[in-house]
Amino acid sequence: MIELEGVIVKEVRGRNLGEIPKQAVDGLDFIVYGGEINVDLPVGDDLKLIYKVFKLGWRDIFDATLYATAKRLEAKALSLDAAFKAFLKECDLDHKILITLKEP
């Protein structure tokens, strides 16, 4: 969720908008409070996989946390980072659980 907030703020700043569009605020609220999407927070056991991803060379804690949580839940995860998906594939990790807009 923190990364999603960061992406929204970055996009709004990059487009020189005076404020965050109502659609973005409503969309975030829907995901967190009103949708059929479950927000699942990481647990302690995820740290082992997060650390493994870091040891292999990836340095974005948000990507590694998303990956570890998705692996634990045996779920697909949405990421805007096609490079992370390519990194997982290169390291022989389960890259297919990430859904990206652009394939590496």
Going from the C-alpha of 6 to that of each of 10, 43, 60, 82, the distances in angstroms are: 6, 22, 13, 17
pTM exceeding the 0.75 threshold for the entire prediction: no
Q: How many angstroms separate the CA atoms of 92 and 40, rounded?
A: 25
Give me the residue spans of the domains in the chain.
2-34, 46-100
Whether 83 has a pLDDT exceeding 70, the answer reads yes
Q: Check residue 53 and give its pLDDT.
A: 97
39-77 confidence digits (pLDDT tens): 677 788 899 999 999 999 999 988 999 899 999 999 998
SS3 68: helix
**What's at 22, amino acid-wise?**
K
Q: Check residue 32 and give its pLDDT.
A: 76
Do the beta carbons of residue 80 and residue 7 sit within 8 Å? Answer: yes
Going from the C-alpha of 76 to that of each of 52, 72, 81, 84, 96, the distances in angstroms are: 20, 11, 14, 14, 8
94 — pLDDT class (breaks 50, 70, 90): very high
30 — pLDDT class (breaks 50, 70, 90): confident
